[in-house]
Amino acid sequence: MEFTDLTLENFEEAAEVVKRVTQETKLVYSKYFSEQTGNKVYLKPENMQITGAYKIRGAYYRISKLEKEEQAKGLITASAGNHAQGVAYAAKELGVKAVVVMPTTTPLMKVNRTKSYGAEVVLHGNVYDEACEHAYKLAEENGYTFIHPFDDLGVATGQGTIAMEIVKELPLVDYILVPVGGGGLATGVSTLAKMLNPNIKVIGVEPAGANCLQESLKNGEVTTLPSINTIADGTAVKTPGSKIFPYLQKNLDDVITVTDDELIVAFLDMVENHKMVVENSGLLTVAALKHLDVKNKKIVSVLSGGNMDVITMSSVVQFGLIQRDRIFTVSVLLPDSPGELTKVSAVIAKMQGNVIKLEHNQFISTNRSKAVELKITMEAFGTDHKNQIVKALEESGYKPRLIRANP
What are the phi and psi torsion angles at 283 (to 5°)?
-85, -10
- The H or E element that residue 264 is part of is helix 260-274
Q: HSE, CB side, 13 Å, CA atoms: give it for residue 254.
A: 13
Catalytic residue list contains 30: no
What are the phi and psi torsion angles at 225 (to 5°)?
-75, 145
Q: Taking the alpha carbons of 151, 155, 159, 163 in that order, is the dihedral positive or negative?
A: positive
Residues ≥6 apart with Cβ < 8 Å to 218 = none
CB atoms within 10 A of CB 44: 27
CB atoms within 10 A of CB 45: 22
Using the 8-state DSSP alphabet, how is residue 305 labeled? B
User: Which residue type is seen at 149?
Assistant: P
| CB-CB contact of 268 with 250 (8 Å) | no
Report the DSSP pairing between strands 40-45 and 28-30: antiparallel
Closest CA to 174 of 261, 291, 294: 294
User: Which residue type is seen at 334?
Assistant: L
What would you measure as the largest C-alpha separation in the chain, in angstroms?
83
Give the span between the Cα atoms of 248 and 15, in whole angstroms. Answer: 21
Catalytic residue from among 79, 216, 301, 304: 304
User: Which residue type is seen at 223?
Assistant: T
What are the phi and psi torsion angles at 263 (to 5°)?
-65, -35
- The H or E element that residue 17 is part of is helix 8-17
Give the span between the Cα atoms of 325 and 387, in whole angstroms. Answer: 9
Query: CA dihedral defined by 30, 33, 34, 39, rounded to 10 degrees?
Result: -120
Catalytic residue list contains 55: yes
Catalytic residue from among 40, 44, 55, 243: 55
Give the span between the Cα atoms of 153 and 161, in whole angstroms. Answer: 13
Q: Give catalytic residues, as residue numbers.
A: 55, 304
